Structure 1
Amino acid sequence: MQDIIAGFLRFQAEVFPSRKQLFKELATSQTPKALFISCSDSRMVPELVTQREPGDLFVIRNAGNIVPSFGPEPGGVSATVEFAVSALKVSDIVICGHSDCGAMKAIATCACLDTMPAVKNWLRYSDAARMINEAKPHADERSRVDGMVRENVIAQLNNLRTHPSVALALAQGKLNLHGWVYDIGSGSIEALDMETNAFVPLASHPSARKPDGA
């Protein structure tokens, strides 16, 4: 904890003064362009990976980068999605999985989660991805986990589309959805090609060649 406190004091004394104008502008409003949904894993830091400034991303982080499908009792994720789309008018939503994801590894390897009932129940929102991944052949455990990570991103995008605010914005052409997988060891990102349902290097993905606002 002392390291965290020391970090804040260093931010307050050294970083904040040099970025004072930015934080002054952010003090009364925010206009993020994208909602970024990622895992809570400490190795995945959305702002670092995307090199974004404070105020650029509206972020949801949870175990397994999960978005429950819309239901009669919406929770915090649903409320945050709705606020991002309806109030902040974000133009893009990214769901980003990552390599060596503990949540997806637990699902892929059928790990016993009896001592973590909340985690066990939460991961049921990945049941569709689990069933699809189990139906595919895998050379080894790593391949099975990697497959689960990717299928989960696809499944959560499908869950996201059930949210009324998202469905409306998509129908009006005001919102774009993106599925990414970040590899911790190499620093690379693969993006889902919605037409082929395959993950390709982000640098060669159509969205990487599409100018902003096009």
Structure 2
Amino acid sequence: MQYRATVRDTMVQQFLKVKDNPTPKAVFFTCIDSRMIPTRFTQTNVGDMFIVRNAGNMVPHSQFFPDEQHSNEPAALELGCVVNDIRHIIVCGHSDCKAINLLYKLRDPEFASKDNRRLSPLRSWMCAHAQTSIEKFEDLLADDFNKPLLFQGETPLRKFAAYIDPEKKFNIEDRLSQINTLQQLQNIASYGFLKKKLENHQLHIHALWFDIYTGEIYYFSRRHKRFVIIDEEHFDKLFKEVIVYYS
């Protein structure tokens, strides 16, 4: 009733405006966490984005969907980027992610055993689709987060390096969350139906990371090889990078 009395009329006008010709700018993957309200911190409105949410902001690798098997995530990619010709895909992770906190515990082989996975759809989901994130995390942990990780970008040749929290300001699970967020970019690039668009620079993939306790948003800068806070100090440089790299 509060919605009817306040914003309904305004929203209807917006719906009518985009009814026949919506022009969404991005497909936005994020977590189902109740604290994540992407339309607020991206300042987007009716018709601006396709939003896909699941536990841990995952985009499963294409290897999990042979033949006639389907999943919501690749279907959303096709609907957004092929059917609607959206040119940007954004994956947004966040701090204190309960799914990622669970993933950190799943490094324990007993906790991640098949018997335990049968008892928990969430454990099964994380074990199936976040194993590569765990492997990269373990590799970095062994080096105390001092070396960069290597990820595939839009094509196999467009690799990018990433230093994860080099200042060591975030806790260990949040570092895993940042690795997992970047891994999804590599997973997105594995889908054959996106291959031509990615190769021809008609489709671009980005990573954001949201700190829910400070409200700050970080953009992964391929130029700086790390997540960079989007603020008054860094905005101009990040904006120029996006314009040059993705134009």
Task: Give the shorter-chain TM-score range.
Answer: 0.7 to 0.9
Partner of 1:199: 227
**Conserved 8 A contact 1:202-1:208:** no
Instruction: Give the match's secondary structure for 2:73.
Output: helix
The 5-angstrom pairing of residues 1-214 of structure 1 reads: 9-70=1-62, 71-72=65-66, 73-110=69-106, 112=111, 114=116, 116-123=119-126, 124-137=128-141, 143-195=171-223, 197-203=225-231, 204=234, 206-209=237-240, 210-211=242-243, 214=247
Q: TM-score, normalised by structure 2?
A: 0.74
Gaps of 5+ in 1: 1-8
Identity among equivalent positions (%) equals: 26
Query: What residue is the counterpart of 1:6 in the other structure?
Result: none
Distance 2:17 2:201 in 1: 29
1:25 Cα deviation after fit: 2.5
Are the counterparts in 2 of residues 101 and 149 from structure 1 also a CA contact under 8 Å? yes
Q: 2: distance between equivalents of 1:165 and 1:193?
A: 26
> How much does 1:195 deviate?
4.5
Aligned residue pairs total 205
Q: Confirm or deny: 8 A CA contact 1:94 1:179 kept in the other structure.
A: yes
Q: CA RMSD in A?
A: 2.5
- For structure 2, the 5+ residue unaligned runs are 146-167
Amino acid at match of 2:179: E
What one-letter code is carried by the residue in structure 2 that aligns with 1:132?
K
State the AA in 1 paired with 2:208: W
Residues 51/85 of structure 1: CA separation in 2 closer, same or farther (3 Å cut): same
**Segment of structure 1 superposing worse, 167-176 or 95-104:** 167-176
**Alpha-carbon shift at residue 26 of structure 1 (Å):** 3.5
Q: Which residue of 1 aligns with 2:159?
A: none
